[in-house]
Amino acid sequence: MDYAATGTEALARIDAAADLDAIEQLRIAFLGKQGSISGLLKTLGQMSPEERQSEGPKIHALREAVTVALAARKAGLESAALEVRLAAERIDLTLPAPETPRGTVHPVSQVMDELAEIFADLGFAVATGPEIEDDWHNFTALNMPESHPARAMHDTFYFPDEAAASDGRPGRMLLRTHTSPVQIRTMLANGAPLRIIAPGRVYRSDSDATHTPMFHQVEGLVIDKGIHLGHLKWTLETFLKAFFEREDIVLRLRPSYFPFTEPSVEVDVGFALVNGRRVLGGSGDAPGHGWMELLGSGMVNRKVIEFGGLDPDEWQGFAFGIGVDRLAMLKYGMDDLRAFFDGDQRWLAHYGFSALDVPTLSGGVGTPA
Ligand code: PHE
Q: Which atom of ligand 1 is nearest to the CA of 183?
A: 9
Q: What's the confidence (pLDDT) of residue 210?
A: 78
296 and 173 share a domain? Answer: yes
Q: Of the residues 178, 184, 301, which should be mutated to test ligand 1's pocket, given the most ligand atoms within 8 Å of the CB?
A: 178
Q: Which domain holds residue 197?
A: 107-351
**What would the DSSP string read from start to end of 339-352?**
GGGS--HHHHHHH-
Domain count, the chain: 2
Which of 137, 229, 260 most suits a substitution to test ligand 1, by most atoms within 8 Å of the C-beta? 260
In three-state form (DSSP H/G/I as H, E/B as E, the rest C), the secondary structure along 248-275 is CCCEEEEEEEECCEEEEEEEEEEEEEEC
What's the CA gap between 200 and 215, in Å, rounded? 8
Same domain, 62 and 190: no
Alpha-carbon span 311 to 315, nearest angstrom: 6
> What is the CA angle 290-294-300, rounded to 5?
135
Inter-helix orientation angle 107-121/229-244, to 10°: 130
- 125-126/194-203 β-pairing: parallel
Query: Does residue 204's CB lie within 6 angstroms of at least one atom of ligand 1?
Result: no
Ligand 1 atom 6: residue of nearest CA: 321
| 260 within a domain of the structure (yes/no) | yes
Residues 83 and 115 in one domain: no
Contact predicate 179/185, CB 8 Å: no
pLDDT digits (tens, 9 = 90+) for 298-326: 999 999 999 999 999 999 999 999 999 99
**Cα–Cα distance, 29 to 57 (Å, whole number):** 21
Residues 142 and 226 in one domain: yes
Please work out whether the CB of residue 298 comes within 6 Å of at least one atom of ligand 1.
yes
Question: What's the confidence (pLDDT) of residue 168?
Answer: 59
Give me the pLDDT at residue 78, please. 93
| 71 and 122 both lie in a single domain | no
In a domain, 329, yes or no: yes
Q: Both 165 and 74 in a single domain?
A: no
The CA-atom distances, in angstroms, between 63 and each of 12, 14, 51 are: 15, 13, 18
Same domain, yes or no, for 54 and 154? no
Q: Are 284 and 268 in contact (CB under 8 A)?
A: yes
Please indicate, yes or no, whether residues 193 and 297 belong to a single structural domain of this protein: yes
Q: Select from 36, 56, 88 the last residue of a domain.
A: 88
Give the SS3 label for residue 326.
helix
Q: Is residue 153 part of a domain?
A: yes
CA 266, CA 156: separation in Å to the nearest integer? 22
> Around 53, how many Cα atoms within 13 Å sit in the side-chain half-sphere?
3
Domain co-membership, 133 together with 67 = no
Does ligand 1 come within 6 angstroms of the Cβ of 320? Answer: yes
Cα–Cα distance, 163 to 159 (Å, whole number): 7
**Could you tell me if the CB of 259 is within 6 A of ligand 1?**
no
208 and 312, same domain (yes or no) = yes
Helix axes 3-16, 36-43, angle to 10 degrees: 160
Is residue 180 within 6 Å of ligand 1 at its C-beta?
yes
Predicted local confidence at residue 165, as pLDDT: 58
User: 33 with 126, same domain?
Assistant: no
Specify if 74 maps to a domain.
Answer: yes
In-domain check, residue 368: no
Positions of the chain with pLDDT lower than 50, given as ranges: 367-369
- The answer as to whether 331 is a domain residue is yes
- In whole angstroms, what separates CA 299 from the centre of its chain? 33
- Establish if 154 belongs to a structural domain: yes
CATH number reported for the structural domain that contains residue 274 in this entry: 3.30.930.10
Q: Whose CA is nearest to atom 4 of ligand 1?
A: 178
Ligand 1 pocket, residue 319 CB under 6 Å? yes
CA of 38 to the centre of ligand 1 (A): 83
100 domain-assigned: no
Closest ligand 1 atom to the C-alpha of 264?
Answer: 10
Is the distance from CB of 255 to CB of 268 less than 8 angstroms? no
* Dist. CA 186–CA 202, nearest whole Å: 17
Check pocket membership of 178 for ligand 1, CB cut-off 6 A: yes
Strands (DSSP E) contained in the chain are 125-126, 132-134, 173-175, 194-203, 214-224, 251-258, 261-274, 277-280, 289-300, 316-323
The burial class, CB within 10 Å (0-12 / 13-18 / 19+), for 353 is: buried
Asked whether residue 8 falls in the same domain as residue 117, the answer is: no
Question: Which of 61, 88, 115 is a domain's end point?
Answer: 88
Structure confidence at residue 68 (pLDDT): 95
